[in-house]
Structure 1
């Protein structure tokens, strides 16, 4: 069974005169859909999940499942399960008993709880590991068991807090595929927190961008990247191209020349910043037909099978602008080479300029790191609690090791 999730004016204060950890969050997540929360560290993402799970108490606002408030209910009665970056399995229980734990807490016999748990291990492809202890598993296997334990509680809403962050690339891709399969079979309502923009785009139906405890934009995952509401949202979603200019009659004019804006981009005449995803910029030969601009390659760096280029475009009047692009696999360009750039209209947008003094510190740090060709990484550690709905203080709960680490918000 799944449920529509809604939060209304949800807030959580730090106290001591500090800005709120979460300030008036309003979100709707349709039943069976997946929402990704993205934003810098300290933006309120994990706080939002913990308030939905009942692991923290809001200072204001409400949490509703299918229109009914659950904010007064304890975690184990909400129908919500949460999986953290660390699996947090009970070390002295084998895999099957870890997954059976929520049923045991609910009063089921050991035999019945184990019988109920087994299908969930099969779902996460861990059916052959029932008698192993967590210490005998790899990190990816532990996370699969943690996911099975959360699902065995039969949640109406599944919360994933950086659940795949600690895995290597291949394992993360495996977990992404597993989540797609689980969604097809169980149709849970899912909310995931991630710093990985590619992960959000690959897994979520919609994306919500948070910063400073506030919601900046919430929209369809296929659209929000190409139609950000502001320069700040574009940066938080990993966008790197910002071309200053002016809009006149639906046309953006800048050092790149004159570009007709898509009809669904509504920006008034006047100063405006052209935004275009670097992944969408098509790099061609300098004289290729259909190129919107031509420039000189200033820098080339590896980006997996692709190459990330920085191209300088100089207008006839001498104004210069840098454009970031990613080549297709197999394309090779060198520093100093002349290239053409095509900007697909589906990936082009424009927004009013913002006060540079309002830039988030973490965004400024990332941009400085990018300038030095050293991409910024994010570290988020999990809170020291097991899945919501599997409470460590519940009657009969097994003893476990303490975990220590930073708490992301």
Structure 2
């Protein structure tokens, strides 16, 4: 079994490098996502976990270190060729055939699981950044509508004052406008205060200063690709791929347990330094002795090896069951996200129609009021209705785009947004 992690590693490296120069002029969501991928500490930590897991592979596939033993005889052992002065023994143990490759498979699969964990952390970060981005978009739209509302109310006040001066209007109309302007000014102030925590959370995801400006487009393209809704399978979600790799790793660990229950063979060499005899002359006097050695481990205590195999089987089953549970949860979340898309799209269509109708009614009322034929209070009421629907449009747009981002996250798709103008 051979696993290749070079391609995803290189692809991710290119992805990260590509975003290094984006921060200065970032204006689109895609660029903010690249900044987040490069700077977010949790994503960087997940990638370091993957790199650390990769370093396990060369460790487990290496042979155990050889043993060198050196012995000096305090009381020399006399032999026919002379006294033994010192002994050197070198031994290298070799695991059973296939043991090292099986261990490498386990480590490689665990590293691939770590890479999937990294991808999930990155995708979850992208969803969080997108969600905050759309909240900021909704806030900016609301600020625009509230400022426009203040300006329009001031125009209404001027109109009411002109009617009062002409003797055809009531002072109460002016006071009613003032009441609405006070409410509008307070709402605008609250929205401006709300911006600070939203900026802080958004910039925290990008690991930047909390109040660093975020540039939001005036409009976002909310057209939904029908293909996105048609392809809502969650099978490519990195969470599932991670558990699949962990299950495969546990199955490979069972093979390691089997191999570990086989004998280990050791090959060695024994070298004895022999001194020369001085009391007599013999053939090969003082010749050193060289002896090859063979060592075999005897794994006779079988319970631990059987237990290790059972443990691996249970772990593989555990990961398989977890995968089923996660898949069920992701499918349920997908159904909810699809409902949110449909609901937001329906409400957005409704609010846009209401804005159009309210504008028509308001224009008619204003024209009638200028001719002293309608109640000013009704003008103000419709104006507030129009503002309510304008704010609702911004909220529905943000909900729709957030739901689409959630679908992208659940399906494990890359976050390549084309929503910005």
TM-score (norm 1): 0.22
Structure with greater proportional strand content: 1
Structure possessing the higher relative contact order (Cα contacts under 8 Å, 6 or more residues apart): 2
Structure with greater proportional helix content: 2
TM-score (norm 2): 0.21
